[in-house]
């Protein structure tokens, strides 16, 4: 098929030569408004987005798209049921930032285990406290990876050199994927995990999944990592778990509402409590956002678009 693509988000500059290299027509309009997208979309076969655009029935009702490509891993800003109903394929690029997420996750774990940020802040306040900052060795603990897709496997691979036990649970994985991890059932996962790392997408099934009831199923008090989506682990539930010491410490790259000024009263109160608890290390949704991944996402996405276009032509 001939293919014309509309790009509506800012992408790495490599996107232009890469798309030219697979002989598709495209318009790169990263400053376009939603109303302009709706007006122009009927002219295009494909749509490339990142995060700003919600692809729903309202956006595509007059379009004749063949595919929507998301420059990143998550597809929670796509209404997958609507796209399926209209026969629109979904293309994303979780392979592009999995190594970045893996490194960032381990960075959060090591920071918390060895009190790096905590001790730095104390020293800058002239407080030299060696005993209060005695750390824990990762090799003495079991890391439980919840969700064993692209990012989960990357975390396991990078943990393999630390000498720790690595287990994983994935409801939808039917085969053992390799030697970097021991796949276990859910009861075993609850029993053995010391460090819980989330690597699952945001769906109707996972929205709000990590609540105090879920966390209380774990035998050990946890070090908790979330580099997936904030809505999966609401702030109020994390607050409850820290208050009861079910969560000892947490590393959060994501929040249920990442526009802090727009948080509702309860969200902001919980966020402030978590900040002041001294138990949480925050980063601003940058786990998968490195200099390398910015370009690598384009490489993965364009390869998949090229394969889709070729398959459609045949």
Together in a domain, 158 and 131: yes
| DSSP conformation class of 55 | B
pLDDT value of position 57: 93
Q: Is residue 84 part of a domain?
A: yes
Burial label for 124, CB within 10 Å (0-12, 13-18, 19+), is exposed
Domain extent at residue 109 = 96-282
Check whether residue 211 and residue 86 sit in a common domain.
no
Residue 287 lies in a domain: no
Instruction: Please check whether residues 120 and 211 belong to one and the same domain.
Output: yes
pLDDT at 52: 86
Is-contact 74 201, C-beta < 8 A? yes
Residues 6+ apart with CB under 8 A from 13: none
H-type helices in the chain, by residue range?
A: 15-21, 34-40, 57-60, 80-85, 94-113, 116-124, 150-159, 186-192, 212-215, 235-243, 265-277, 291-313
Q: Is the same domain home to 20 and 103? A: no
Residue 154 lies in a domain: yes
Task: State whether 23 and 154 are in the same domain.
Answer: no
Is 225 contained in some domain?
yes
CA-based diameter of the chain, in Å?
69
Whether residues 146 and 183 share a domain: the answer is yes
Q: Are residues 234 and 275 in the same domain?
A: yes
Looking at the fold, whether 268 and 304 belong to one and the same domain comes out as no
Q: Are residues 229 and 117 in the same domain?
A: yes
Query: What total number of domains does the chain contain?
Result: 2
Domain shared by 110 and 70, yes or no: no
Residue 40 lies in a domain: yes
Do 38 and 152 belong to one domain? Answer: no
**Quick one: pLDDT at residue 314?**
61
Decide if 83 is inside a domain: yes
Q: Are residues 232 and 305 in the same domain?
A: no
| 129/119 Cα distance (integer angstroms) | 8
Task: Tell me what pLDDT residue 1 has.
Answer: 60
CATH number at residue 234: 3.40.50.720
Q: Is residue 32 part of a domain?
A: yes
pLDDT-flagged residues of the chain (< 70): 1, 175-178, 314
């Amino acid at each position: 098929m001939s293919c014309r693509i509309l790009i509506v988000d800012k992408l790495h500059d490599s996107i232009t030569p890469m798309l030219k290299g697979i002989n598709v027509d495209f318009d790169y309009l990263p400053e376009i408004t939603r109303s302009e997208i709706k007006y122009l979309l009927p002219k295009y076969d494909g749509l490339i987005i990142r995060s700003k655009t919600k692809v729903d029935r309202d956006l595509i009702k007059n379009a004749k798209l063949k595919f929507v490509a998301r420059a990143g891993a998550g597809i929670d800003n796509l209404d997958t049921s609507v796209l399926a109903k209209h026969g629109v394929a979904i293309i994303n690029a979780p392979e592009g930032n999995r190594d970045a997420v893996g490194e960032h996750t381990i960075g959060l774990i090591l920071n918390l285990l060895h009190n790096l940020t905590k001790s730095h802040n104390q020293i800058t306040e002239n407080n030299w406290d060696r005993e209060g900052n005695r750390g824990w060795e990762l090799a003495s603990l079991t890391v439980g990876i919840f969700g064993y897709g692209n990012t989960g496997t990357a975390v396991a691979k990078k943990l393999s050199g630390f000498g720790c036990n690595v287990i994983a649970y994935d409801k939808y994985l039917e085969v053992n994927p390799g030697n970097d991890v021991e796949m276990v059932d859910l009861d075993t996962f609850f029993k053995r995990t010391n460090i819980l790392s989330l690597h699952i997408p945001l769906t109707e099934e996972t929205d709000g999944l990590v609540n105090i009831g879920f966390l209380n199923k774990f035998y050990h008090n946890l070090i908790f990592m979330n580099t997936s989506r904030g809505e999966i682990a609401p702030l109020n539930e994390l607050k409850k778990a820290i208050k009861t010491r079910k969560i000892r410490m947490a590393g959060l790259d994501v929040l249920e509402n990442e526009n802090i000024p727009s948080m509702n009263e309860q969200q902001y109160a919980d966020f402030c409590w978590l900040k002041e608890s001294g138990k949480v290390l925050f980063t601003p949704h940058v786990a998968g956002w490195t200099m390398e991944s910015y370009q690598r996402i384009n490489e993965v996405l364009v390869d998949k678009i090229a394969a889709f276009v070729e398959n459609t032509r045949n």
